[in-house]
Chain A
Amino acid sequence: MSEFHIVVCGSIVPDPLQTLAPVEAPTGWSLKNEMMLPAVLDPWAGHALYEAANLAKKHPGSRVWLVSLAPKAKLQQVMMAVSQKAPFELVVADGSASGFTDSHETARVLAETIKGIAGLETSKMLLFGGWQSASRGSGAVMQMVGEMLGVSEQFQGVDKLTVHDDGAIEVKERIEGGSYQNSLVDGAPAVFGWATGELPEPPNNPQIGMQNMQKNMPALMQAKPADLSGTTMKLASVAVPQQRRETRVVKDAPVDEMAREIVEWLKS
């Protein structure tokens, strides 16, 4: 049976549907009152984390690290919820998670942080993360982190992993046109940018939460500031998407009826 060292890259994003207002300061763009906005684990990274925990459970001896570039105070708050859902070891780089940072700099910080994980064996490493991000969908960070760590086997839009008896990993990836592609990789190391995966969000288990935080509080307290200053990128302007909302809460409506209404709404 294979034994994996699974490193999940994932950060926090504002809780969906909060009022987001980009503001420009001398230090660059950020979100207004960012530290006071309720935050959640980026849903894409969340899928990756839950898949990682599930895979580790099936393969005894495996370990899961969650590597997070985020303001540590806010991250701690979010971890109080996330750590109830799956066992993991937290590794923190204390820096901005606003989504306005250069993705190359983000990847560099994550790669350096991963290199610093004690006990991580690259030969067993599966590098997990979100295929996209809810804060800014560049879709490039995981790819770059993999390259910086010298991992060339990369898969994006992953929905399922199946580990064969010989240690090979079958990967189900989303590709264009709504189709899937199945690939086979010999085993670790490899990068997997997850789409939604196939697992529901686990329930909150206070016991797992307590065990996790006993391990992870020191990581939060000792987190070092992340240096993201190496960029020359400048954002010319920032705007939130225009939205129009019209809500009715209806349950048990037939799918055809829902589709018809949505089409009519879009046409209007």
Chain B
Amino acid sequence: MSDTTDTPEVPRAEMEADIVCVGFGPAAGGFLTTLTRGLMNEDGTPVAESAVVPGMPPQVICYERADDIGFGVSGVVTKGRALRASFPDLDLSQIPMAHEVTDEKVLYLRDPVGASRRPAVFKLADKALGRWMEDDAFELPYVPPFLQKHPGMVFSIGQLNQWVGGNLMGTGMAQIWPGSPVAEPLMDGRAVTGVRMADQGVEKNGTPGPGYMPGMDMKAALTVVADGPVGPVGQHLDRALGLPEGKHQREWAVGMKCVVDLPEGCDWQAGTVLHTIGYPEPEIFGFLYVYPGNVASLGIFVPSWFGNPVRTAYRYMQHWMQHPYLWKRLQGGTMRSGGAKSLQESGRRGAPFLCGDGFARIGEGSGSTNVLTGSGVDEAWATGVMLGESVLELMKEGKPYTRETLEATYVARRRASWVEEEAKVAEKSRDGFVSSVVKGFIGMGLTGLTNGLINMPGSPIKPQDRIPTIEEYYKGYIAEGEVLEIRAECARKGTSLHDALMDRVGWPQIPLDGTLLVSHQDALLMGGKVQAAPGYGDHVRFADPYTCEACRERVCIEACSGQAIYTNPEGGAPLFDREKCVHCGACMWNCSKSDLKDSERTNVCFRAGSGGLHSVEN
């Protein structure tokens, strides 16, 4: 929400379009690809006339916060069913860093350093499977059907977005504006009438400063909300409209990842897909996808149900990379770029109202991610296609974009789709993780193998209510008094508490080599520099600074994927440096305190902001 008010000296500009879309990711790609293909009749006349530019086809605008389309997203493996349906003649060789899946493995990784916290079942597995392990890794004899992505494809979403965006703009039927953060929807009661751009020329706290320019209002008959799980427009709607009864967004993960030039002689072939479990901690999953040209996208997922309150995903990723099975093939490689992204892992259970008067929601923020199969890109694309088809139908019939018409078209398509059918199966698949990691894995297996008939029971808990104190987490490992000493020393030196605690419990220090094992900041700067245009306010704020002042976990600082949140040496709420933020949004759910005004949310507010990563490889 904007903190600023209009001033008489600087009026707020206003423009109109027919359709405004917020965020350009796979969902918006699917929507705009479908829509633009259908806007003109075969005889060259538009299927409908623009309401704002008479005589012209509908004016379609898409705003993207990042400085270019495809910046700062992720590598992916997908079955690509919806993508293939949109591009039946898809030639992956036309998209850099894309390849068919050729080999898929699930690996159980044993702890080679003895610092991982392994439940008894994992310790047993370490011993029992030992004789069949290669380099401390056990390859599951088969990939469960629900995890299989074969036949499918690996690609960089950044490159895909560049390709899709280039094609779209070449049609001249849609405009995609990068570097354009949208602050909030324009609302009239429960209806959406357009969007408001973020103010510029403001101070850190959002108050007008030199060169103040209030964010423009873009009015539109239809607002398409595709700004992902941490997007400000989706969040605003969730606050204003609430979630449907029984829905909540309590399950999250952060994907910490990098793109690596593999060393010469690496035996991974293009199209190789690895899924790992067991290391560096049992709760942390790993992934590795091999692209053409001896390049791989790899990383880990750190979920909200991981109990460590001082969780720095980057260091965990470095330990994961050094696991003997992976390091044997990665050693000698070079990091090309690094990044991070939050994943909304409630899936269908976190689905908001999919439409209303003047708006519709697509993609990850609409609860389309399948939390059992770990698949979200294709599902997001499919939701965009479904909305595109629905909008074309309404245009041709001359109907307005109301809750009723969108429910009868878009929502009806979703309810009848494979996305919905598979999401229903997946809905309870992760409930076991509420109790323990072992029950979680058993639950996923039960759900997957019985097609959702049998699930491990469990009721998801808010992320902030799951986080123990540091002393509780390290009980039995480090005495409370020593934790206090380590805290004091880190505060005095201004160093990472997470690193100190990991060192103390036996994690080896990272032998930085300047090429693949590099500092956290170098990973963000190498090939994917992080930057932010001047003149915007801070997009990370703390709802109640006094709550922060009393907080002892400070998960936001330790978990920040860009080291952009840091301790205030003078006490009080943490400080935020937006020039280092990668916009992963992990701070939003990596907080141990509830917002005093909304107990479902944490005390960290993640709003509209500019900039972020400048990499289209991740």
Task: Answer whether A and B are interacting partners.
Answer: yes
The residues of B that contact A221 with a CB separation of less than 8 Å are: 172
What sequence of 0s and 1s flags, for each residue 492-517 of chain B, a beta carbon within 8 Å of any chain A beta carbon?
00000000000000000000001000
Stretch at the interface among A13-21, A61-69, A151-159, A225-233: A13-21
Please state if B178 and A80 are interface contacts (CB–CB under 8 Å): yes
How many angstroms from the CA of A207 to the CA of B178 in the assembled complex? Answer: 14
Which one of B68, B165, B522 lies within 8 Å of A81 (CB-CB)? Answer: B68
How many angstroms from the CA of A205 to the CA of B526 in the assembled complex? Answer: 30
Please state if B170 and A73 are interface contacts (CB–CB under 8 Å): yes
Which one of B166, B180, B527, B563 lies within 8 Å of A19 (CB-CB)? Answer: B527
How many angstroms from the CA of A12 to the CA of B331 in the assembled complex? Answer: 36
B413 within 8 A of A: no
The residues of A that contact B525 with a CB separation of less than 8 Å are: 17, 245, 247
Please state if B533 and A204 are interface contacts (CB–CB under 8 Å): yes
Please state if A203 and B213 are interface contacts (CB–CB under 8 Å): yes
Known: A19-B527, A76-B170, A247-B522. A204 touches B163 (CB 8 A): no
The residues of A that contact B63 with a CB separation of less than 8 Å are: 206
Please state if B163 and A247 are interface contacts (CB–CB under 8 Å): no
**Central interface residue in A35, A80, A251, by most chain B CB within 10 Å:** A80
Known: A17-B527, A207-B13, A249-B580. A73 touches B169 (CB 8 A): yes
Please state if B69 and A77 are interface contacts (CB–CB under 8 Å): yes
Which one of B163, B200, B614 lies within 8 Å of A36 (CB-CB)? Answer: B163
Which one of A73, A210, A245, A246 lies within 8 Å of B166 (CB-CB)? Answer: A73
Please state if B68 and A207 are interface contacts (CB–CB under 8 Å): no
The residues of A that contact B70 with a CB separation of less than 8 Å are: 38
Which one of B15, B67, B336 lies within 8 Å of A207 (CB-CB)? Answer: B15
How many angstroms from the CA of A221 to the CA of B166 in the assembled complex? Answer: 13
The range of chain A's interface size is: 35 or more
A195 shortest CB reach to chain B, Å: 21
A157 shortest CB reach to chain B, Å: 26
B211 shortest CB reach to chain A, Å: 7
Which one of B169, B175, B577, B614 lies within 8 Å of A38 (CB-CB)? Answer: B614
The residues of A that contact B577 with a CB separation of less than 8 Å are: 251
Question: Chain A's interface: helix, strand, loop or mixed, by majority?
Answer: loop
Please state if A204 and B179 are interface contacts (CB–CB under 8 Å): yes
The residues of A that contact B534 with a CB separation of less than 8 Å are: 200, 203
A209 within 8 A of B: yes
A33 within 8 A of B: yes
Chain B residue at smallest Cβ distance from A246 = B514
A74 within 8 A of B: yes
Please state if B67 and A206 are interface contacts (CB–CB under 8 Å): no
How many angstroms from the CA of A33 to the CA of B615 in the assembled complex? Answer: 14
B306 within 8 A of A: no
Please state if B177 and A36 are interface contacts (CB–CB under 8 Å): no
A217 within 8 A of B: yes
A84 within 8 A of B: yes
The residues of A that contact B172 with a CB separation of less than 8 Å are: 217, 221
How many angstroms from the CA of A74 to the CA of B169 in the assembled complex? Answer: 10
Q: Name the interface residues of A225-263: CB closer than 8 Å to any CB of B.
A: 245-249, 251
Please state if B211 and A203 are interface contacts (CB–CB under 8 Å): yes
B162 within 8 A of A: yes
A134 within 8 A of B: no
Q: Name the interface residues of B556-588: CB closer than 8 Å to any CB of A.
A: 563, 577, 580
The residues of A that contact B519 with a CB separation of less than 8 Å are: 247-248
The residues of B that contact A19 with a CB separation of less than 8 Å are: 336-337, 527, 617
Known: A33-B96, A36-B96, A203-B533. A77 touches B180 (CB 8 A): no
How many angstroms from the CA of A18 to the CA of B197 in the assembled complex? Answer: 29
Chain B residue at smallest Cβ distance from A247 = B522
What sequence of 0s and 1s flags, for each residue 100-118 of chain B, a beta carbon within 8 Å of any chain A beta carbon?
0000000000000000000
Please state if B177 and A38 are interface contacts (CB–CB under 8 Å): no
Q: Name the interface residues of B50-99: CB closer than 8 Å to any CB of A.
A: 63, 67-71, 95-96
A70 shortest CB reach to chain B, Å: 13
A53 shortest CB reach to chain B, Å: 15
Please state if B166 and A35 are interface contacts (CB–CB under 8 Å): yes
B159 shortest CB reach to chain A, Å: 6
A213 within 8 A of B: yes
Please state if A247 and B527 are interface contacts (CB–CB under 8 Å): no
A37 within 8 A of B: yes
A111 shortest CB reach to chain B, Å: 28
How many angstroms from the CA of A213 to the CA of B15 in the assembled complex? Answer: 14
How many angstroms from the CA of A19 to the CA of B97 in the assembled complex? Answer: 13
B374 within 8 A of A: no
How many angstroms from the CA of A19 to the CA of B615 in the assembled complex? Answer: 10
**Central interface residue in B159, B169, B525, B527, by most chain A CB within 10 Å:** B169
Q: Name the interface residues of B456-511: CB closer than 8 Å to any CB of A.
A: none
The residues of B that contact A206 with a CB separation of less than 8 Å are: 13, 15, 63, 177, 180, 197, 216, 218
The residues of B that contact A201 with a CB separation of less than 8 Å are: 533
Chain A residue at smallest Cβ distance from B218 = A206
B176 within 8 A of A: yes
The residues of B that contact A84 with a CB separation of less than 8 Å are: 177, 179-180
Known: A36-B159, A204-B179, A206-B218. A80 touches B213 (CB 8 A): no
The residues of A that contact B323 with a CB separation of less than 8 Å are: none
B521 within 8 A of A: yes
Please state if A247 and B521 are interface contacts (CB–CB under 8 Å): yes
The residues of B that contact A80 with a CB separation of less than 8 Å are: 169, 175-178
The residues of B that contact A37 with a CB separation of less than 8 Å are: 616
Q: Name the interface residues of A11-45: CB closer than 8 Å to any CB of B.
A: 15-19, 33, 35-39
B201 within 8 A of A: yes
The residues of B that contact A207 with a CB separation of less than 8 Å are: 13, 15, 216
A36 shortest CB reach to chain B, Å: 5
B565 shortest CB reach to chain A, Å: 14
A165 shortest CB reach to chain B, Å: 28
How many angstroms from the CA of A33 to the CA of B213 in the assembled complex? Answer: 37
How many angstroms from the CA of A33 to the CA of B293 in the assembled complex? Answer: 12
Please state if A15 and B159 are interface contacts (CB–CB under 8 Å): no
> Which residues of B does A touch, CB under 8 Å?
13, 15, 63, 67-71, 95-96, 159, 162-163, 165-166, 169-170, 172, 175-180, 197, 200-201, 211, 213, 216, 218, 336-337, 514, 519, 521-522, 525-529, 533-535, 563, 577, 580, 614-617
A selection of 7 A-B contacts at a CB cut-off of 8 Å is: A17-B527, A19-B337, A38-B616, A74-B166, A77-B69, A206-B218, A245-B514
The 6 closest A-B pairs by CB, nearest first: A33-B96, A38-B68, A203-B200, A207-B13, A17-B529, A247-B522
13 further A-B contacts with Cβ under 8 Å, apart from A81-B178, A201-B533, A247-B525, are A17-B526, A19-B617, A36-B96, A39-B68, A73-B170, A76-B169, A77-B68, A77-B69, A84-B179, A203-B535, A204-B533, A207-B15, A245-B514
> Which residues of A does B touch, CB under 8 Å?
15-19, 33, 35-39, 73-74, 76-77, 80-81, 84, 200-201, 203-207, 209-210, 213, 217, 221, 245-249, 251
